Amino acid sequence: MLRLKAMMQPWEADVTGADQTRMAKCADEWGYDMIAVPEHFVIPTEHVELSGPHYFQSTAAQAYLAGATNRIMLNSCVTVLPLHQPIVLAKALATADWLSGGRMMVTFGVGWLQREFELLGVPFAERGRIADEYLAAIIELWTSESPRFEGRYVFFDEVAFEPKPVRKPHLPVWIGGDADAALRRAAKYASGWWSFLTPPEQIAQRVDFIKSQPEYDGRPFEVVHGMATTRVGEGHVARNDPNARSGMSGQQIIDRLSWLAEQGVTVSAVPLPSVRDVDEYLDYAQWVIEEIKPKVP
């Protein structure tokens, strides 16, 4: 789904849409919980070496993968919220959710790639305020029978909006990012937080920060940290982290996932060892679901 220099293996450049569909069907059949889709619209040339050129529009990819599967949840990681028109995005997510029987999720982030914002005509310095307003407007459309919203960046009233998301009050919204503003946004609007640059040993402290906010009402809350995340630094630079290395033994993976659970992590993924093609990738994915998942909290 993306080609980060810090994590990519050579065979991944040749993966096709048909390969991705087969992988998604296997994940669905074997009992994986979620597929998450990264998003960028354009990558400036100076960022291609580290970030790669290949990204999806997250909602379109989620909808396709939902149609190719039966039970697995479809998330994003992340949908760059300020770069979307919020009414259109609310409609796209609600449509895919309704058609899939309630299998859509979304992880919203404010974005970090300034040139991408400039190319799309969105003020980079205002992206946090834009995201907060867009998110409030989207939730209003998803939950109100007579949606109305008046803000600096979006306005609507006297409108109808259906279909609504299947799950109530609305499809799960998670927030990606590590700044205090992102965590406050998660406390106010979300049922999950996706950490990226937060060191694993600081996750428990940051979860406490989220739950200490006055907007957090005690609702169930997921915390996501992929084991390989620490191999990617700010701006997608490569980092060396011995706890995120590939080729760990089964017991090493179980021990690490158990430790992450003690920090408050509820959703994770394991590093991929060196493999040669899609078939070897799927062999490893099947081993993880059969040998690792039953043995972790």
- Splitting the chain (297 residues) into consecutive groups of 10 residues, what average pLDDT does each group show? 86 96 98 97 95 96 98 98 98 98 98 97 98 98 98 98 97 97 98 95 98 97 91 68 71 95 96 93 97 92
pTM of the model: 0.94
Length in residues, the chain: 297
Question: Cα–Cα distance between 101 and 290 in angstroms, integer?
Answer: 27
Task: Decide if 44 contacts 113 (C-beta within 8 A).
Answer: yes
Q: Which of 19, 26, 23, 97 is nearest to 62 (CA)?
A: 97
User: Per 3-state DSSP, what percentage of the chain is helix, strand, and coil (rounded to 5)?
Assistant: 50, 10, 40
Cis peptide upstream of residue 82 (ω within 30 degrees of 0): no
pLDDT at 65: 98
| Beta partners for residue 73, in sequence order | 34
Question: Cα–Cα distance between 267 and 258 in angstroms, integer?
Answer: 11
- Report how far apart, in Å, the C-alpha atoms of 182 and of each of 122, 123, 208, 233 are: 19, 18, 14, 18
* Rg, Å, the chain Cα set: 19
pLDDT at 278: 97
In this structure, which topology does domain 10-245 adopt according to CATH? TIM Barrel (3.20.20)
pLDDT at 75: 98
User: First and final CA of the chain: distance in angstroms?
Assistant: 28
Tokens of 158: 């006297």
Strands 106-109 and 173-176: parallel
Q: Which of 205, 160, 196 is nearest to 178 (CA)?
A: 196
pLDDT at 248: 84
